[in-house]
């Protein structure tokens, strides 16, 4: 007989867990498939609240010593326990629903094979209202409950969220739907069939007729399998019969694409969950029509999206509409909702700082320098960073040249305890289904999603436990933000949205008209970083100056520093003394240093000036494209080494930049692109050289004046 599933119900005080459990008990008990656990609590049985068994502390201790409890925990001065007899219920094939503390989820996951966490949530203001209505806590106790953040659900545990922010009846509907969506467990078998990229799962027509439930063709399901790094999930469409005819009882067949996406071994057991129809469809339609939604409406809509209840075409239409029509109030609503949907880290720190850059400027790898300076000063900086998507390197790619970046939450916390900072890949820590979907839509179509990004970025920073965030907004002809007006407008939106979710945000508009530093590509950019940290005479001055500027702004948040000017002076002293270099070494060691850092590739080609003149423009996007063609960021030793700067006088044949390539073929492709022999046609002209010195001076002066304006306005923003 197939064993039952243990549903652990968790959620903050005031979320309404007891009401939902009581409602589900009335609806599901008649089916005799669900058992609702009765807790033992050191509180009188007649006390208001849930139906429980009240015992004295002495009796509770006696039972615990006798092994009568499956699990016990303490909360709010009381002891709680679940009877060990629930194991027998599970073995008999019945499902168990129990209200537990999230502190025991990890413990139960180690002793129960089939376990699902249902996390009940609600908006903070609604939680406060419900707690006050109970009348059991004083006002100060209520506030403590509201600010208390529980432990995140372990990555190795299946979980599902239920919003209980509407009426009781609707909340019960959602809760029961969540329980019944888990349809059992099955053994997977790869059928070696291709489905054209659309994930497909095949059910036998015989198995599909089992009661409950019956599967219908076209229905969407979620398959989840246990993996070495947590639960892997894939959504797929149901096919009944046909290729599934050869399946044995309890087996499901996966197309080759579905099998590879799930990443589980042949014959593995997976949980099968039906994806219910979205309840927020009317809201999605309203947004597609251009209407504004409020926070509660976005909460319902985004919950359905992250649970996979929408088809790709519906999601695409919504995301396109969101890029074209998103008010400031909606950005704030999205940021609040996304924060509430995330598992938030907590730190025993007065100030926790973070940094983000809108990017678009090759090089400009100031983050490792800034993090080292901040850590050397003593502030906590758990920096989460991205890998490159369209550029030649992301901060995580650069850090990965010397250390591990795929850190778990626990490893991030350890690194901060040991080194005061880390530089970790955000894909493992705060991965977003919403952002994956948005990127898949906006990048191929070239849509501007910067306003959506404000909500995404700040909600992730809030979820990571940051209290203070600095944002770099590079502006220039080759940057993502082309105009001064767009950059200043976005800076104001960042700061206002940050304040709305309880963050101190400082957004600075910076010069994005040219690359910063010399290296473009992971190993080459790290070389520049180390040159700055080692105080070498040949360190890129622009990279050093920008890093000191941002570090100074961050250190100004320390009351003992107080101003950006003093912060920069403190940062400069930490750099010159070697304290920042030592801090970087501690961070690398804490994250896990590689035995041998990656070096820039020795397979090179130097691109030279075709005529005498002055460098008056460097196209960073073209250089980044050449670096990617050379192999970056996948090959960390590939990239571009800039050998000139804007304003340099060059002669015919003088070196402009050096290409470092992964393979002879990639080097040949780069050379062909630069020389115009590439299939794309025109030569890739990354360096603009003016033949006349006065002309070059005029262009350079105009660009410098514009850059100065952006920087000054950014300081006042």
pLDDT by residue (tens digit) across 592-638? 999 998 999 999 999 999 999 999 889 988 999 999 999 999 999 99
Tell me 84's DSSP state: T
pLDDT level of residue 540 (50, 70, 90 thresholds)? very high
Q: How far is CA 391 from CA 395, 454, 521, 522, in A?
A: 11, 20, 9, 11
Determine how many CB atoms are found less than 10 A away from the CB of residue 214. 12
| Burial profile 661-685: b = 16 or more Cβ within 10 angstroms, e = fewer | bbeeebbebbbbbbeeebeeeeebe
Number of residues written out for the chain: 717
Residue 56 sits in the same domain as residue 117: yes
Distance CA 251, CA 312 (A): 28
CA atoms within 13 A of residue 455's CA, in its CB half-sphere:
29
Tell me 475's DSSP state: E
- Residue 619, token pair as written in the block: 């196209």
Write down the mean pLDDT value for the chain.
87
Q: Residue 57 falls within a domain, yes or no?
A: yes
Distance CA 96, CA 706 (A): 66
Range in 89-103, 237-251, 603-617 with the lowest mean pLDDT: 237-251
Determine how many CB atoms are found less than 10 A away from the CB of residue 77. 7
Q: Residue 562 falls within a domain, yes or no?
A: no
Domain extent, residue 664, equals 604-694
User: What is the C-alpha end-to-end distance of the chain, expressed in Å?
Assistant: 66
Distance CA 237, CA 394 (A): 35
Q: Residue 44 falls within a domain, yes or no?
A: yes
Region 83-98 average pLDDT: 94
Residue 103 sits in the same domain as residue 157: yes
Residue 11 sits in the same domain as residue 144: yes
pLDDT digits 0-9 by tens, 16-66: 898 999 999 999 987 788 999 999 999 887 656 678 899 999 999 999 999
Contact at 8 Å (CB) between 657 and 686? yes
Contact at 8 Å (CB) between 287 and 313? no
Distance CA 341, CA 119 (A): 10
Residue 28 sits in the same domain as residue 100: yes
Q: Residue 490 falls within a domain, yes or no?
A: no
Residue 239 sits in the same domain as residue 160: no
Cβ-proximal residues to 639 (8 Å cutoff; 6+ apart), any chain: 392, 393, 519, 520, 521, 522, 523, 524, 525, 600, 627, 630, 632, 660
Residue 125 sits in the same domain as residue 195: no
Residue 18 sits in the same domain as residue 75: yes
Q: How many domains does the structure of the chain reveal? A: 3
Q: What is the pLDDT of residue 308?
A: 79
Tell me 388's DSSP state: P
Q: Show contacts of 555-564: CB within 8 Å, 24+ apart.
A: 555/373, 555/374, 555/377, 555/379, 557/351, 557/353, 557/379, 557/468, 557/504, 558/351, 558/377, 558/379
Q: Quick one: which of 459, 509, 497 has its CA closest to 354?
A: 459
Q: Quick one: which of 717, 709, 712 has its CA closest to 489?
A: 717
Residue 152 sits in the same domain as residue 249: no
3-state secondary structure of 534: coil
pLDDT level of residue 78 (50, 70, 90 thresholds)? very high
Q: Quick one: which of 342, 407, 420 has its CA closest to 379?
A: 420
Q: What is the pLDDT of residue 346?
A: 85
Residue 257's CATH number: 2.40.40.20
Q: Across 160-174, 246-260, 385-399, 488-502, which has the greatest mean pLDDT? A: 488-502
Domain end position, chosen among 215, 247, 274: 274
Q: What is the pLDDT of residue 214?
A: 63
Domain end position, chosen among 247, 274, 301: 274
Distance CA 34, CA 86 (A): 11
Distance CA 393, CA 402 (A): 14
Determine how many CB atoms are found less than 10 A away from the CB of residue 365. 31
Q: What is the pLDDT of residue 394?
A: 93
Q: What is the pLDDT of residue 712?
A: 45
Range in 47-61, 70-84, 497-511, 594-608 with the lowest mean pLDDT: 47-61
Region 467-475 average pLDDT: 96
Residue 126's CATH number: 3.30.63.10
Domain end position, chosen among 165, 190, 218: 165
Whose structure tokens read 């002891």? Answer: 79
Q: What is the pLDDT of residue 48?
A: 61
Q: What is the pLDDT of residue 211?
A: 47
Q: How far is CA 387 from CA 382, 396, 437, 478, in A?
A: 16, 5, 17, 20
Q: What is the pLDDT of residue 386?
A: 85
Quote the Cα angle for 230-234-237, to 5°. Answer: 160
Q: Quick one: which of 669, 651, 523, 526 has its CA closest to 605?
A: 669
Q: What is the pLDDT of residue 363?
A: 86
Residue 156 sits in the same domain as residue 30: yes
pLDDT digits 0-9 by tens, 399-456: 999 999 999 888 999 999 999 999 999 876 665 667 766 666 666 666 668 888 899 9
Cβ-proximal residues to 609 (8 Å cutoff; 6+ apart), any chain: 650, 651, 652, 653, 654, 655, 656, 687, 689
Q: Residue 598 falls within a domain, yes or no?
A: no
Within 255-345, residue ranges assigned H as helices are 256-262, 281-288, 295-306, 312-324, 328-341
Q: How far is CA 168 from CA 23, 36, 123, 163, 560, in A?
A: 9, 19, 15, 11, 50
Edge-to-edge strand order for the sheet containing 158-163? 34-36, 95-99, 6-10, 115-121, 158-163
Query: pTM, whole model, 2 decimals?
Result: 0.79
Q: Residue 381 falls within a domain, yes or no?
A: no
Burial of 76 (0-12, 13-18, 19+ CB in 10 A): exposed
Q: Quick one: which of 115, 60, 51, 102 has its CA closest to 83?
A: 60
Percent of the chain past pLDDT 90, that is, above it, reads: 54
Residue 187 sits in the same domain as residue 116: no
Q: How far is CA 226 from CA 155, 180, 201, 270, in A?
A: 10, 21, 18, 8
Q: Residue 27 falls within a domain, yes or no?
A: yes
Percent of the chain past pLDDT 70, that is, above it, reads: 87
pLDDT digits 0-9 by tens, 147-206: 555 667 887 889 888 888 878 898 999 999 999 999 888 999 998 787 776 788 888 876
pLDDT higher than 50, residue 702: no
Strand duo 6-10 + 220-227: pairing: unpaired
Residue 615's CATH number: 3.90.1170.30
pLDDT level of residue 395 (50, 70, 90 thresholds)? very high
Q: Quick one: which of 636, 340, 296, 306 has its CA closest to 438?
A: 306
Contact at 8 Å (CB) between 332 and 500? yes
pLDDT higher than 90, residue 257: no
Helix, strand, coil percentages for the chain (3-state, nearest 5): 45, 20, 35
3-state secondary structure of 143: helix
CA atoms within 13 A of residue 130's CA, in its CB half-sphere:
23
Residue 49 sits in the same domain as residue 158: yes
Residue 86 sits in the same domain as residue 198: no
> Higher-confidence residue: 711 or 458?
458
Q: Residue 293 falls within a domain, yes or no?
A: no
């Amino acid at each position: 007989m197939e064993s039952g599933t243990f549903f652990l119900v968790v959620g903050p005080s005031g979320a309404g867990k007891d009401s939902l459990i009581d409602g589900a008990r009335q609806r599901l008990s008649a089916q005799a498939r669900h058992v609702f656990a009765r807790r033992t609590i050191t509180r009188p049985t007649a006390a208001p609240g849930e139906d429980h068994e009240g015992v004295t502390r002495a009796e509770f201790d006696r039972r615990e010593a006798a092994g009568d409890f499956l699990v016990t925990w303490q909360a709010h001065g009381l002891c709680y326990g679940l009877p060990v007899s629930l194991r027998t219920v599970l073995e008999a094939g019945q499902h168990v629903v129990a209200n537990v503390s999230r502190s025991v989820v990890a413990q139960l996951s180690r002793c129960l094979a089939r376990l699902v966490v249902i996390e009940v949530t609600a908006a903070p203001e609604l939680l406060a209202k419900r707690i006050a209505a109970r009348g059991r806590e004083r006002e100060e106790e209520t506030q403590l409950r509201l600010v208390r953040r529980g432990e995140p659900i372990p990555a190795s545990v299946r979980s599902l969220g239920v919003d209980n922010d509407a009426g009781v009846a609707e909340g019960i509907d959602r809760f029961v739907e969540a329980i019944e969506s888990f349809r059992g467990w099955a053994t997977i078998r790869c059928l070696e069939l291709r489905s054209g990229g659309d994930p497909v799962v095949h059910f036998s027509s015989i198995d599909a007729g089992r009661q409950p439930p019956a599967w219908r063709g076209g229905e969407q399901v979620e398959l989840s399998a246990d993996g070495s790094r947590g639960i892997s999930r894939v959504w797929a469409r149901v096919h009944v019969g046909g290729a599934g005819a050869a399946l044995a009882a309890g087996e499901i067949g996966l197309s080759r694409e579905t099998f590879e996406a799930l990443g589980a071994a042949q014959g593995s057991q997976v949980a099968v969950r039906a994806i219910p129809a979205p309840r927020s469809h009317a809201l999605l339609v309203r947004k597609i029509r251009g209407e504004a939604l409020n926070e509660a409406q976005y909460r319902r809509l985004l919950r359905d999206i992250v649970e996979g209840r929408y088809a790709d075409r519906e999601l695409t239409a919504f995301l396109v509409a969101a890029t074209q029509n998103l008010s400031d109030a909606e950005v704030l609503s999205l940021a609040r909702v996304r924060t509430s949907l995330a598992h938030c880290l907590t730190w025993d720190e007065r100030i926790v700082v973070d940094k983000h850059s809108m990017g678009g400027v090759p090089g400009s790898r100031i983050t490792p320098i800034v993090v080292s300076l901040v850590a050397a000063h003593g502030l906590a900086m758990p920096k989460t960073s991205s890998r490159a998507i369209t550029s030649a390197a992301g901060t995580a790619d650069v850090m990965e040249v010397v250390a591990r970046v795929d850190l778990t939450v626990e490893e991030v916390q350890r690194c901060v305890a040991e080194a005061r900072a880390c530089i970790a890949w955000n894909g493992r820590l705060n991965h977003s289904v919403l952002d994956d979907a948005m990127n898949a839509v906006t990048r191929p179509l070239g849509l501007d999603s910067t306003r959506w990004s404000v909500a995404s970025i700040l909600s992730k920073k809030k979820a990571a436990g940051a209290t203070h965030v600095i944002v770099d907004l590079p502006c220039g002809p080759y940057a993502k933000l082309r105009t001064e007006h767009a950059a200043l407008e976005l800076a104001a939106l960042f700061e206002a949205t940050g304040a709305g979710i309880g963050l101190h945000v400082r957004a600075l508009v910076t010069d994005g008209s040219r690359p910063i530093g010399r290296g473009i590509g992971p190993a080459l950019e790290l070389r520049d970083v180390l040159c700055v940290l080692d105080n070498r005479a040949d360190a890129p001055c622009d990279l050093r100056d920008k890093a000191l500027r941002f570090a100074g702004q961050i250190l100004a948040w320390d009351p003992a520093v107080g101003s950006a000017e003093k912060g920069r002076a403190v940062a400069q002293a930490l750099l010159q003394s070697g304290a920042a270099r030592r801090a970087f070494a501690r961070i690398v060691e804490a994250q896990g240093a590689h035995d041998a850092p990656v070096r820039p590739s020795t397979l090179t080609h130097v691109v030279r000036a075709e005529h005498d003149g002055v460098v008056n423009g460097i196209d960073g996007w073209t250089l980044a494209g050449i670096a990617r063609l050379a192999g970056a960021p996948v090959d960390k030793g590939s990239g571009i080494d800039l050998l000139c700067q804007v304003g340099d006088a060059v002669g015919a044949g003088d070196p402009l930049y050096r290409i470092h390539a992964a393979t002879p073929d990639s080097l040949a492709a780069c050379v062909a692109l630069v020389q115009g022999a590439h299939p794309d046609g025109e030569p890739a002209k990354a360096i603009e050289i003016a033949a006349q010195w006065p002309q070059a001076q005029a262009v350079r002066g105009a660009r410098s004046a514009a850059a100065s304006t952006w920087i000054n306005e950014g300081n006042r923003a």
